[in-house]
Amino acid sequence: PAMENPPIDIFGLTILEPITSLTAVLVSIVCLYAFFQLSKLPRHDRVHHFFRYYFLSMAVATAVGGIIGHAFLYAFTFAWKLPGWITSMCSIALIERASIEHARPLIRPAVGRFFAVMNILELLTFLTVVFLTLDFFFVEAHSFYGLMIVVFSFQGYDYYRTHNEGSRYVLYAVGVMAVSALIFMNELAISRWFNHFDISHVLMAIAAWLFYQGARRLQPLQRQSDVVSRSRREAVAEKS
């Protein structure tokens, strides 16, 4: 394609789409940093775990995508793009699950259970379609559904109810991802050396940093009924 980075040769080694590969690895580095930093925090709640593994899986996905899916694809068949695609879809499912779990104290238990099951069914459905078609469109569609509908809705509701700073950062990240997707879909490029892939990857790295800032700040929420029950127990204990 006209807007692909021209290949370069380094010591006889051909690298396809060098800037695209490099910017994909940039996303991986940010995600890996986020994973290790979050792992240092003394937290063991489910939301924290889902976020950590979102970053780890996205780090793997973007590294594999950049190195195998772009830089050295000539040494592989097109089907070798699948490992990066599948891992990225799993990472989106993880950040969906993190958002669902964080909102659970604010929603009815049945609603939380429904979306937790949907989270798995939706991932399996999209994975099946991607396996059968080898079409990146369905990877994009899954990301759109996961980020723009699930994550945005649950984090938006969290922020509306609690004004949690972590949710605000996650919403910022989703906004940056939306801009990234628009640039990618419309193939908006500055030049062959900084095309729509490259711009999209840089924005994804910024979004990953914002997701990390959000994950650091998200504190586990409690059901209002649990808070009331605990307050009553404390009041009874004080009287006795």
pLDDT in tens, 18-59: 999 999 999 999 999 999 999 999 998 999 999 999 999 999
Mean pLDDT throughout 74-88?
91
How many residues in total does the chain contain?
Answer: 240
Inside any domain, residue 195: yes
Q: Is residue 59 part of a domain?
A: yes
DSSP 144: I
Give residue 100's domain range. 8-239
Q: Is residue 2 part of a domain?
A: no
Q: Where are the alpha helices (DSSP H) in 104-223?
A: 109-133, 136-143, 152-162, 165-185, 196-217
Residue 121 lies in a domain: yes
In this predicted structure, the answer to whether residue 155 has a pLDDT above a threshold of 90 is yes
Residue from 50, 123, 135, 39 nearest 87 by CA: 123
Q: What percent of the chain has pLDDT over 90?
A: 80
Cα–Cα distances (Å) from 13 to 21, 70, 72, 107, 122, in that order, read 14, 14, 10, 55, 40
| The predicted structure's pLDDT at residue 72 | 93
**Among 73-87, 124-138, 165-179, 216-230, the least confident range:** 216-230
- Is the whole model's pTM more than 0.85, yes or no? yes
Residue 47 lies in a domain: yes
CATH label of the domain that carries residue 139: 1.20.1070
Can you give the pLDDT at residue 77? 86
In this prediction, residue 219 carries a pLDDT of 84
- Listed residue (144, 142, 150, 143) closest to 126, CA to CA: 142
Which two tokens mark 20?
């695209």
Asked if pLDDT for residue 143 goes beyond 70, the answer is: yes
**Residue 3 falls inside a structural domain:** no
On whether residue 126 sits in a domain, the answer given is: yes
Domain total in the chain: 1
